[in-house]
Structure 1
Amino acid sequence: MSVQSVGGISIAYDEYGSGIPFVLLHGHPFNHTMWQDQREALQAICRVITPDLRGYGETTVVPGKTTMAEFARDLAALLDALAIERIILGGLSMGGQIVFEFYRQFPERVRALLLADTQPQVDTEEVRAARYTTAERILAEGMQDFATELLPRLLARETMASQPKVVERVRQMIVNTPPAGAAAALRGRAERQDYTPVLGEIAVPTLIVVGSEDEFTPVQDAQLMHQGIAGSQLAILEGVGHMPNMERPFEFNAVLRKFLLPIISAN
């Protein structure tokens, strides 16, 4: 991995390929390796950049609370350090919410968007309270038991039964996530703003992808984004949970490549 020191922290990232930069933001509680199948499939057509977010992977852990705005500013600082002006930007789950925040702050830096298994609206009071509770729990207990409980909710039943390597990859990402970093992000997510108004402001090509069995951000959330973002494309992958890029990488990559090629060719 490469490392850039920006804004008082060190951001670790991988990059492959050349051409138009395509930045992919991981979800919680994962790291940049969740995009392994995408970087391998796409590096022939673009410059794929996959950072570890603040508090995750090999990037600096800052205890306390990390807001979506801080994550977005971290990305802007990384792009400045790499002398990159405009990007195609994608994210899954929390990564998708950071995408909304980045577009809100820096719309001129975005060529196109990928929104995978995410949602723009704020949490219910119940979910918000659960984020704070989970933050305290993982600080006290670590990530092992949390991973065991989370996996069946993240991945479709078929994935759990038939793809042990994928299950183990996801497990390893979770258990290797620093608890202080994960807790800080949970607190920040609980206090994020409503990004639903941003939907109508998005004026770049946008691809929305969701697994049909996603428990955390169901198909209804994807349809809400599709209706709110003019000209957006929606792909629903059947029999897939919250992590379609890992559960069905061939299908996910085919949809993504079809979306990207006209944008890359036009630039």
Structure 2
Amino acid sequence: MEKEALVLLPGTLCDEKLWKHQLEHLTDVSNPIVCVLNKEATIEEMAERVLDEAPYRFALAGLSLGGIVAMEIIRQQPERVTRLALLDSNPTRPRPEQRKSWAELRAMVEAGHFQQVVQQRLLPNLIHPSRQVDHMLVSTIMDMAETIGPNYYLKQLHAVSLRSDYREGLRDITVPTLLLVGKDDTVCPPYLHEEMSALIKKSQLVVVDKCGHLSTLEQPEAVTDALQNWLRRKCHA
């Protein structure tokens, strides 16, 4: 049987390393590829580029910014998505306090303090408190951020600041959907995923213990197991 194409979308300041464990362990049930979201300045444009580069029919998984773009993709061309996984994602419009915080981050980056932004403002919120001293995990996150760089980070900030509210459209999703979140994710908390689960008919909610926002890196085995089960679900079920 031909394996299903699987498009993986990373979050802000993340690249293919975010999906390292999944790329290594999902090849028995899929053909995974990563589309890094760093060239366009709106969610809509990011979604359009993924659709241009992806196979005609594909399974779709996104984390954080990647999840937001995944929701836009299935809004634009739902017939092309065979199944959907939203990891540590947010379907709502930005709150005023988020816009204020992003404006501060933008100013810091434009003043040349990109590394300070990543280390002092972002990193403490991205992973579980117990993992803040995990040198390998922190190094991976810092390396991804350096690869994306300040200019593309500013584009990503601009894109999320203009994002839509996708909640009403979630009711129209009919494909098997996985909603996965770290139990201790403070960026996109579990209650957002509970709300999405109530809106999406064929959804399964998985909450990962001892895990913050970057679930694929913090608890890779648990995330990969959930994705394997999702990929094995029959699409007509």
Q: How does 1:79-228 map onto structure 2 within 5 Å? A: 79=54, 84-149=55-120, 150-161=122-133, 163-228=134-199
Residues 11 and 62, structure 2, Cα contact 8 Å, conserved in 1: yes
Kindly, what percent of the aligned residue pairs are identical?
29
Matched, 1:35 2:35: no
Residues 184 and 213, structure 2, Cα contact 8 Å, conserved in 1: yes
Mind listing any 5+ residue stretches in structure 2 that lack a counterpart?
none
Once the two structures are TM-superposed, the CA of residue 142 in structure 1 deviates from its matched residue by 4.4
Deviations 1:94-119 (A, max 9, x none): 10000010011010110000100001
Residues 121 and 196, structure 1, Cα contact 8 Å, conserved in 2: yes
Question: Relative contact order, CA 8 A, sep 6+: which one is greater?
Answer: 2
Matched, 1:72 2:59: no
Residues 38 and 153, structure 2, Cα contact 8 Å, conserved in 1: no
- Name the SS of the counterpart of 1:176 in structure 2: helix
| TM-score (ref. length: structure 1) | 0.84
- Name the SS of the counterpart of 2:206 in structure 1: strand
Once the two structures are TM-superposed, the CA of residue 124 in structure 1 deviates from its matched residue by 0.8
Q: How many residues align?
A: 234
Mind listing any 5+ residue stretches in structure 1 that lack a counterpart?
1-17, 56-61
Which residue does 1:5 correspond to in 2? none
Residues 23 and 88, structure 1, Cα contact 8 Å, conserved in 2: yes
| TM-score (ref. length: structure 2) | 0.94
Distance 1:141 1:213 in 2: 31
Distance 1:196 1:153 in 2: 24
1:242 to 213, 216, 219: 213
Deviations 1:126-185 (A, max 9, x none): 102222332232132242111211212100012224x32112101111133221111012
Distance 1:221 1:176 in 2: 30
Which residue does 2:38 correspond to in 1? 54
Residues 126 and 214, structure 2, Cα contact 8 Å, conserved in 1: yes
Deviations 1:44-90 (A, max 9, x none): 221001122233xxxxxx6xxx11000000101112xxxx2111001
- RMSD (Å) for aligned C-alpha atoms: 1.6
